Amino acid sequence: MAVRSISDRRKALTKGAGALVLALFCILVIALMQRAGWLDGLNIGLMRRAGEARDTVIGQHLTPVMRIASALGGTAGRLILLAMSLAALLRAGRRHCAAWLAAMMAGGTLLNLALKQIFAAPRPDLLPHLDIVHTYSFPSGHAAGNMMFFGALAMLVARRSAYLAAAAMIALIGVSRVWLGVHWPSDVTAGFVEGLGWLAFCRIWLPAGRR
């Protein structure tokens, strides 16, 4: 039984590491395709449609919603939500879960910052920016960070409704970045891939996550 347990553990660790490596490989492929111009048709087409949509009557009412979603998923908004989540977990006596969530988010944030510096992709300039941005564009920090955060909360709650709510928030925040003109769709896609890969890795490799 002990030998089998060790073998199963090694397989799980291999899968966790493999998920992160696969995610990083996919991000590299997306970055190369984007720089080669192979994604221009998709990126420019979708962003132009977003620009046309936000100039309509309905779009003018949707823009404030997109601004709120983007702010909620930004660094400050995410830190506030993280602090509230950690406090709730500690009050519930789930210290290991709180430690796992904090460590996962810290590591994920550093990973995204490192990837942004590596690829050093400029922001799109096709549409006027409706948000203030100072960092590089690829991969999207909003997409990656919120995939990690809301995905982790759904994993901790472990209910179907939590996964559905998390998916809706992640999608809305991702779309908001394109709507506001500060990210190409491929930036957002790469961020989603990064977040999923990091979540899979941390679920297995971080000690607190195993509890």
**Residue 144, domain CATH:** 1.20.144
- Is the Cβ–Cβ distance between 182 and 127 less than 8 Å? no
Instruction: Give pLDDT, residue 89.
Output: 95
Ordered per-residue pLDDT tens for the chain, 211 residues: 455 566 666 777 788 788 999 999 999 999 999 999 999 999 999 999 999 999 999 999 999 999 999 999 999 999 999 999 999 999 999 999 999 999 999 999 999 999 999 999 999 999 999 999 999 999 999 999 999 999 999 999 989 999 999 999 999 999 999 999 999 999 999 999 999 999 999 988 876 544 4
pLDDT for 9 equals 66
CA nearest 154: which of 167, 135, 142? 167
Q: What is the pLDDT of residue 205?
A: 80
What pTM value is reported for the model? 0.93
Question: What is the rounded (10 degree) CA torsion for 196, 199, 204, 206?
Answer: 150
For residue 198, give the nearest of 118, 119, 100, 117 by alpha carbon. Answer: 100
Q: Give the whole-angstrom CA distance, residue 113 versus residue 116.
A: 5
Count of domains forming the chain: 1
Which residues, 6 or more positions from 90, have their beta carbon under 8 angstroms from its beta carbon?
98
| pLDDT score of 13 | 74
Query: What pLDDT is attached to residue 11?
Result: 75
Distance CA(71)–CA(186), nearest Å, equals 20
**What is the per-residue pLDDT for 211?**
44
The structure tokens 């949509």 sit at 53
Q: What is the dihedral of CA 90, 163, 101, 118, to 10 degrees?
A: -160
Q: Which pLDDT belongs to residue 126?
A: 95
The domain containing residue 22 runs over which residues? 2-210
